[in-house]
Amino acid sequence: MNLQHLKYVAEVERTGSISKAARNLFTSQPNLSKAIRELESEIGLTLFSRTSQGVAPTQRGAEFLAYAKTILSQIDELESIYRPQDPDRVRINISVPRASYISAAFTAFLNELRNKQEISIGFREVDSLKAIGDVASGASDLAVIRYQQIYEEYFLGFLKEKGLAHEELFAFHPVILCAGDHPLAGMNPIPVHLLYEYPEIVHGDIRIPSVPMHRISYSAEQKVPDKRIYVSERGSQLDMLRLVPGTYMWVSYVPRIILKPHNLVLRDTVPQSLLSKDLLVYSKSHHLSRYEALFVDLVKREYEISSREYKEDSAKNGEGPAL
């Protein structure tokens, strides 16, 4: 059985699309389709069936893929433990939320690696459920996930079910990101009810788990706005905030290096937003490499810098973040 074929079908399952998987694998769609047919012929199974959305595993195919991903994960782990450590070779795959401080940390991370001879890095900005799935399947070595505290029981249970380890990075109250000339930018904190008449920009691929109503009744005053714009790409959201009057987003602290060129500002709200948490996630059997540890250190550094900058800017303007 060809190990490369197992990697191919695992990527097809992950993306739900042969064309997307082919792009990610740097091969042609005909070659990928041929490899799948060869594997199916070898094992006597049909692995995928076509759907209106792309392809999905058959029942027997899903069973086979579960074993295949376990084998691939074990091989990756074996290689990471026993492969000779080449100081000029860096391999890492990371799944993270769309957070500006993490983007700044990743940029700093790449700059630290600029003299390395061989670099293979995967950096995926996805929702938390997808990030957990990436680590569980072996597609990513580690992930950062984000959730509101009211969903903590769900997410910690999901991590336990997947056999993943985690550590809390930060707990914070999201703030408002808007243009410097936004009608409410002169206020800090901004009363939440005043935001309802303005368009909110949100990430279009975020999936929210369900929780009992009694768990969220206390936050009912923070209703869903009537005007929402769903985006999935970071550049689009920054352009919209700058060019579409009245738009805003809920975010973690954003570094000045991103705020200033786009004439954006951060503002607190009253009442404060619900507490959110960012967690580092990895396999229980995974040992962070020195480069992964470096990335985590840079994430922590950039968060602290962004947090400090926000407090300094608020104090400079005679304002202060709500406590």
- Which residue in 131, 138, 116 sits closest to 279, CA to CA? 131
Residues 234-246 pLDDT 10s: 778 888 998 999 9
The fraction of the chain above a pLDDT of 90, given in percent, is 59
Q: What is the CATH number of domain 171-207+221-274?
A: 3.40.190.10
The domain segmentation of the chain, as residue ranges, is 1-83, 171-207+221-274
Q: What is the mean pLDDT of residues 1-9?
A: 88
Q: Is the pLDDT of residue 222 over 60?
A: no
Give the pLDDT confidence score for residue 75 in this predicted structure.
81
CATH annotation of 1-83: 1.10.10.10
Strands of 259-312, DSSP E: 264-267, 269-270, 276-283
Of the listed ranges 142-151, 183-192, 217-226, the one predicted with least confidence: 217-226
Give the pLDDT band (50/70/90) at residue 86. low
pLDDT digits (tens, 9 = 90+) for 300-316: 999 999 999 999 988 87
- pTM, two decimals, is 0.69
pLDDT tens track for 246-288 = 999 999 999 999 999 999 999 999 998 889 999 999 998 888 8
